[in-house]
Amino acid sequence: MRQIGGLLGRCSLVLLMAAPLPFLPAVQAEEQAAAADTEEATSGASDLLQLYQQAQSQDPRILAAQAAARRAGHQQREALGRLLPQMNADARLTRTNYVSGMTDTNYSGERYSASITQVLYDSPVWQSFQRSRALSEQAEAQGENDIQGATADLVQRYFDVLAAQDSLELIQAEKRVVERNLERINSLYDRQLASITEKLEVEARLDRLKSDEIEAENRIWVAREGLGEVIGRPVYEQLERLASQPNLEAFDLKTHEYWRDQALATNPLMQARLAAVEAQRRGQKEAFGGHMPKVSLQLSSQKSNIGYENSQSGETESNVAAISVQIPLFSGGSTQARSNAAYESMVIAQQELEQARRQVLREVRTAFLNTESSLAKVSAARLALSSAVKAREAAEKSFTFGINNAVDVLDRAREQYSAQRDLLEAQYSFLLSYTVLKRWSGTLNEEDLERVNALLEVRSVEYAANTAG
C-alpha cells in the first residue's frame, strides 16, 4: 500500500509539473506585448519632424485646441438657425366619452396643424449670430496660437534631450582623460617621480566627474520624459543629432522691424484678442437690442373636427398668415443693466487686446535679440574651441618635457570640453530662438521644422582628447 501511495504521489507531481499553469499564457502575452512596444519604440532613430507629426495626433494641447475650434463652429451654426424659418407640425387624435344628462356619447376627433415662423426683425437674434461668428474666429485664432506654442515647446524639449546627451558625453570624455592621467600619475608616484598632492588632486577630480556623470544620466531621462509627455509614449530610441558643422547662416534673420510688423499682422494671439473685442461689441448690441421691437411672419394651417373642450364638431380647415410685432415697454431695468455689463465686458476685452499687443512686441523683440546674440556666440565659441584645443595640445607637449604637471593638462582638457559645450549650447540656443521668433510672429509651420530638421543627422559623437599620458 505504501508503494502504491508513493507511486500515486509521484505521478500526481509529474502531471502538475507537465500541465501548463492557467495564468502563464496571459503573463507571457503581456510580456510579449511589452517587449514588442519597447522594440518598436527603440528601433531606428527619430528626428524632430517625425516626433512633430506624432505630436499632432497625441499632444492634448493640440487636440483640445482643434476641438475648441470645431465647437465654436457648431455654436455659430446654432446661432444661424435662429435666423432661419422655424417649422412645426402637430397631430392630435382623440377618443372622447361625453355624458350630458341621460345622453352618453362616444366619438373620435382629429386635428392636424403646421406652422412656419420667420424672423423679420429681431436685433438680439441678429447680434447673437454676429457674436457667434466673432467667437468662432477667436477660437480658431486661439487654437492656432496654442498649436504654434505646442510646436515651439516640442522643439525645446527635443533639444533639451540632445543637450543632456552632449553634457553626459563630454563628462565621460573628460573622465576618460582623467583616468588615463591618473594611471600615469600612479606609475610616477610609485617611482617617487610625482607628489602625493598631485595624485590626490587627480583622484578628487575623477570622483567629482563620476558624480557629475550620474547627475547627467538622470538629466537625460528627465528630458526624455518631458519629450514623451507631448507625444504620448516613452522615448527610448536614438534621436538624430545636430550636424557637426550646421549651416546656421542660411537662416535669414531680416530686421526687427520686419518681424514686428509680421507679428502685428498675423500673430494668432492678437487675432484672437481682436475677435474677442468684436464678440463683446456684438454682445453689447445684443443686450441693448432688448429695447428694440421684434417683428416676425407666421404662416399656419389647421384641419380639425375637434371643438371647444374636445366637443364634437364638424370638420374645419383654416389657413392663417400673420405678422407679429412685439414692443418691450418696461423690464424693471434689467435690460439696461445687461447692456451696461456687456459694455464693461467689451472694455475688458480691449484691455486684454492691448496687453496681448505689448506681450507680442516684447516676445518678438526678445526672440530677435536672442537669435542675433546666439549667432554671434556660435562664431565666438568656434574660435574659443579652436584656441582651447591648441592650448591643450601645448600643455600636453609641455607635460611630455616635464614643464607642466598632469593637473595643468587636465585643466586645459576641461577648458576644451567647456568650449565644446558652449558651442553646442549656442547652436541650440540659436535654433530655439529662431523657432520662438517664428512662433511669436505667427508664421511657425511645418516648413520651418523641416528646415531645422535638415540640420539633424544620425551620427554617434565621441569627444576625446589625446593626452601625453
CATH class of the domain comprising 46-84+123-291+356-457 = mainly alpha
Tens-place pLDDT, residues 382-433: 999 999 999 988 988 887 777 777 788 888 889 999 999 999 999 999 999 9
| Residue corresponding to grid cell 527610448 | 236
- Give 91-121 as a 3 state SS string: EEEEEEEEEECCEEEEEEEEEEEEEEEEEEE
Handedness of CA 221, 412, 425, 369 (dihedral sign): positive
Tell me the C-alpha distance between 456 and 235, whole Å: 17
Tell me the C-alpha distance between 11 and 296, whole Å: 93
Percent of the chain with pLDDT over 70: 88
Buried b (16+ CB within 10 A) or exposed e, 187-224: ebeeeeebeeebbebbeebbeebeebbeebbebbeebb
pLDDT at 53 over 50: yes
Cell matching residue 432: 530655439
pLDDT computed for residue 307 by the predictor: 74
Q: Mean pLDDT across the stretch 237-243?
A: 92
Instruction: For residue 461, name the pLDDT band (cuts at 50, 70, 90).
Output: low
* Nearest residue to 143 via CA among 70, 202, 94: 70
Tens-place pLDDT, residues 75-107: 999 999 999 999 999 998 888 887 777 777 887
